[in-house]
A and B are shown apart, each in its own frame.
Chain A
Amino acid sequence: MKVVIFPPNSMILADLVERKGHEPLVMQSQIRKKVNTAEIDSPPLNITEKEPIEGLKYAAIEVPSGVRGRMALFGPLIDDADAAIIMEDAPFGFGCVGCARTNELCMFNIRQRNIPVLEVKYPTSSDETMELVNRINEFLDSLGEENG
């Protein structure tokens, strides 16, 4: 199954999805320690004026261009997903979207899709981490079962 993850650039979530035989829908393929690009979640693609216009499918013209440009990339991933995992309160290094409004809109759009969604919070202890990984694995296994 195609599983969209949020943050969409989290390689850890992407790895967990892949290990269970699903296809992770992700934004980029490397994690950086130092931020030396213009944005904290700089896109791996060359964005042009075209993307914020394409983003009009997800947000009105009155919405800032940075939100619409991001939605041009994230929106189709959400549209394409059969399931989703949302992680909230994750630190930057785990993966993030630089714009809080895009975060809100993406999570809303995922919830509106009526697909299986697992919503979790970033763990703060090793016990929570174990529990979180188990929950994610169980969720991913259940997706397999649903598909029969």
Chain B
Amino acid sequence: MVKIAQISCGTEYSGIQDEIDKAASTFGAEILIPDVELDYINEAYKKFGFIAASSGIRLMIARAMSIVEGKTDADAVFIATCFRCAEGALLRNQIRRFIQQNTNLPVVTYSFTERTKADELFIRMEALATIVARKSLLAREKQEGLTLGIDSGSTTTKVVLMENNEIIGTGWLPTTDVIENANEGTKSALEGTGYKESDIEAIGVTGYGRLTIGKHLNADLVQEELSVNSKGAVYLADRQKGEATVLDIGGMDNKVITVNDGIPDNFTMGGICAGASGRFLEITARRLGVDISELGGLALNGDHKKALLNSYCIVFGIQDLVTSLAAGSSKEDVAAAACFSVAEQVYEQQLQEIDVREPLIQVGGTSLISGLVDAVSQTLGDIDIIVPEYSPYIGAVGCALMVSGLGKKD
């Protein structure tokens, strides 16, 4: 059983300790609370050098020290503190770095409230458990043989065929029937390559539909999105070593993942309203009478300050758009304002919850909207953003890469 060491402050008084235990056991892992002597707490936090005011935070430091000094036998580490606690946020990241720099253990961090959602904990625990169980797959930096990756997302299904570290075919279609879409996508990916389905040596599946498709295709790898997307993004961006942040502004929801050496360590997903999603840009393009693929270029030629679009709501956002156009704003200015509106909302709702580490790798279909990438960069103080080739396919690429480590099919 995978042993996950918990380093936390506030989990019991927030009433979520049971949820954490439950989430770990769901994925065949157990939570281990490193026990430390009271005298060791003083010794450890002084050695660490951060004189925290809260004794709960000092205990966290001592527990981290006990892991680094080999006094606690753990396979992975889960670090959690209360949402909105400044001291907790500071230490959460310092302790993460301390453990990552001094051990090879996978770490996942989290800031919680009393309303912590079980599925947010589930995906973290699943990622930790699978990172431990599939460490050799995550360490893989090169794809070998002929492998297929399928990412069955909530909005679109992406398929990638890879051969000897190169993408040789792709398939992309809106998700309706997951199995049918996977079959169609596979057909597109194989088209023109000279290969047929039976030539594929291994199949990896991720995304919401992964269990259904995995069973149907008898896939060799069925993996949650967190580790697969991280791996795919750093592989495509050629940033397999060191730190990075992966940002995916999706059609319906947004994901931000922080990674260290290709392994995810924090994650936030959500979006209060569609006003902060790719869907808003799609409707904006329609109202401007341009194709979504032209919106980015249009935005780059506009000035976002000349049109006011900052509503959290997609309905009011479109109303603002119509008003701006009626008031004489140019299409370029409105396109730029729409991109900035999405970037600012993603920043306010999600990026503030996570420690954004450069480079930021922007992925997903919206990463092809250049005006949005520019708006995200400016919103984050001109941060360095990489949009890798095949950026909408990171999940499928991550699968095709990782599954190639499982060896050839008989």
Contact = CB atoms under 8 A, between A and B. Distances in A.
Interface of A: 33-43, 47-53, 62-70, 73, 91-93, 96-101
Interface in B26-45: 33, 35-38, 41-42
A62 to B, nearest CB: 6
Given A35-B36, A49-B16, A66-B9, 14 more contacts: A34-B36, A38-B6, A43-B12, A47-B13, A49-B115, A63-B84, A65-B82, A67-B10, A67-B13, A69-B15, A98-B9, A98-B56, A100-B54, A100-B87
Contact of B13 (A33, A35, A52, A92): A52
Contacts of B115: 49
B11 interface: yes
Contacts of A49: 15-16, 114-115
A98 B62 CA distance: 14
Given A37-B33, A38-B33, A93-B38, A64 B54 contact: no
Nearest to B37: A34
A67 B12 CA distance: 11
Contacts of A47: 12-15, 17
B90 interface: no
Contacts of B42: 91
Contacts of A98: 9-10, 54-56, 59
Interface of B: 6, 8-17, 33, 35-38, 41-42, 52-59, 81-85, 87-88, 112-115
B8 A38 contact: yes
Contacts of A62: 84
Given A40-B59, A64-B85, A98-B59, A35 B35 contact: yes
B110 to A, nearest CB: 13
9 contacts: A39-B12, A50-B15, A51-B13, A52-B14, A53-B114, A65-B14, A69-B12, A96-B55, A98-B9
A98 B54 CA distance: 6
Contacts of A38: 6, 8, 11-12, 17, 33
Contacts of A63: 84
B56 A69 contact: no
Nearest to A43: B12
B56 A40 contact: yes
Contacts of A64: 10, 82-85, 88
A92 B15 contact: no
Contacts of B33: 36-38
Given A49-B114, A92-B41, A93-B38, A37 B12 contact: yes
B10 A39 contact: yes
B88 A97 contact: no
B114 A69 contact: yes
Contacts of B53: 100
Contacts of B11: 38-39, 66
Contacts of B15: 47-52, 65, 69
Nearest to B8: A38
Contacts of A41: 55-56
Contacts of B52: 100
B17 A52 contact: no
B111 to A, nearest CB: 9
Contacts of B85: 64, 66-67, 101
B233 to A, nearest CB: 31
Nearest to B87: A100
A35 B59 contact: yes
B35 A65 contact: no
A-B pairs, 10 with minimum CB distance:
A66-B10, A98-B56, A69-B13, A64-B82, A100-B53, A36-B35, A52-B114, A65-B14, A100-B54, A65-B114
B160 to A, nearest CB: 42
Given A35-B38, A92-B41, A42 B114 contact: no
A31 B11 CA distance: 21
B86 to A, nearest CB: 9
A67 B38 contact: no
Nearest to B10: A66
Nearest to B88: A64
